[in-house]
Amino acid sequence: MIKRRFTVVIEQDEDGLYVASVPELPGCHTQAKDLDQLDNRIKEAIKLYIKEEDNPEYSGSSFIGVHQVEVAI
């Protein structure tokens, strides 16, 4: 079995739900009420995403990082 690391971005929405997304897998995201459940769900989402070897959106690219900028509005 091959293991691969993915970067997961976690945010909390206005309703208090945790939302996880995988930047290197466009459209791969999920949500949950707690972090343990979120962890399980995002792992399942990743597995489903890459299960299809012919998935045209899965390029095998590597996520580089998250950058925050400050903008005066």
Q: Which amino acid is at 19?
A: V
How high is the pLDDT of residue 52? 65
* Confidence at 57, pLDDT banded by 50, 70, 90: low
Express each pLDDT in 3-48 by its tens digit. Answer: 888 989 999 999 999 999 998 888 999 999 999 999 999 999 999 9
Instruction: Decide if 6 contacts 64 (C-beta within 8 A).
Output: no
Q: What is the pLDDT of residue 8?
A: 94
| Total of domains in the chain | 1
**Residue 16 zone, left/alpha/beta (φ > 0; ψ -120 to 50; rest):** left
Beta bridge partners of 10: 20
DSSP-based three-state secondary structure for 2: coil
6: left (phi over 0), alpha (psi -120 to 50) or beta: beta
55 pLDDT higher than 70: no
Q: CATH number of the domain at 7, please.
A: 3.30.160.250
Domain extent for 7: 1-73
